[in-house]
């Protein structure tokens, strides 16, 4: 920093110009690492933490994806990643509690399923229960074999 500007502050107009000049430019990974190291270990005041918290309220990571759709390949990968995971009863209760009181979606309001659709849905549920029953029997057999 030059000695000529030391102790002086920039006017708001100058700050705005400098901000505009930097807008849209990305920091290099090296610079990000240096900044991270410089901040590492510093404790923040509660006021600063509150400000940071307020600034992030309402900004969810999913907002980045707003208006876009996953490809079928991506959907399959997500499905595969979640396949076989079981939720704890506590988690199920929390999900149920959070959805209580919310209005149902009105997309199907005033419409009725045709008999063909009803038959398809019924068959899907029947197949699902059959698969679930078969899986639970496999687990029961496997656990009984391991106990012997």
Is the pLDDT at 45 greater than 90? The verdict is yes
**Average pLDDT in the chain:** 88
Predicted TM-score (pTM) of this structure? 0.30
Q: In angstroms, rounded to a whole number, what is the distance separating the alpha carbons of residues 44 and 51?
A: 11
pLDDT tens string 88-108: 999 999 988 888 877 777 777
CA dihedral 84, 90, 91, 96 (to 10 degrees): 120
Is the pLDDT at 143 greater than 80? The verdict is no
What confidence score (pLDDT) does residue 61 get? 67
What confidence score (pLDDT) does residue 119 get? 97
For the chain, give every domain's residue range: 117-147
**Between these two residues, 111 and 2, which has the higher pLDDT value?**
111
Close Cβ partners of 121 (under 8 Å, ≥ 6 residues apart): 113
Q: Please, are residues 71 and 63 in contact by the beta-carbon 8 Å criterion?
A: no
Is the pLDDT at 2 greater than 80? The verdict is no
Q: In angstroms, rounded to a whole number, what is the distance separating the alpha carbons of residues 56 and 51?
A: 9
């Amino acid at each position: 920093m030059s000695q000529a500007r030391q102790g002086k502050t920039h006017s708001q107009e100058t700050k705005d110009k400098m901000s505009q000049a930097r807008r849209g430019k990305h920091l290099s990974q090296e610079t990000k690492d240096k900044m991270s190291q410089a901040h590492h270990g510093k404790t923040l005041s509660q006021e600063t933490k509150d400000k940071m918290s307020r600034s992030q309220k309402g900004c969810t990571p999913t907002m980045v994806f707003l208006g876009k759709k996953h490809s079928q390949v991506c959907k399959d990968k997500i499905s595969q990643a979640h396949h076989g995971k079981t939720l704890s009863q506590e988690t199920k209760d929390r999900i149920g509690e959070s959805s209580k009181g919310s209005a149902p979606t009105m997309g199907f309001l005033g419409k009725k399923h045709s008999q063909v659709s009803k038959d398809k849905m019924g068959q899907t549920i029947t197949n699902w229960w059959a698969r679930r029953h078969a899986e639970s029997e496999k687990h029961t057999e496997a656990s009984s074999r391991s106990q012997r």
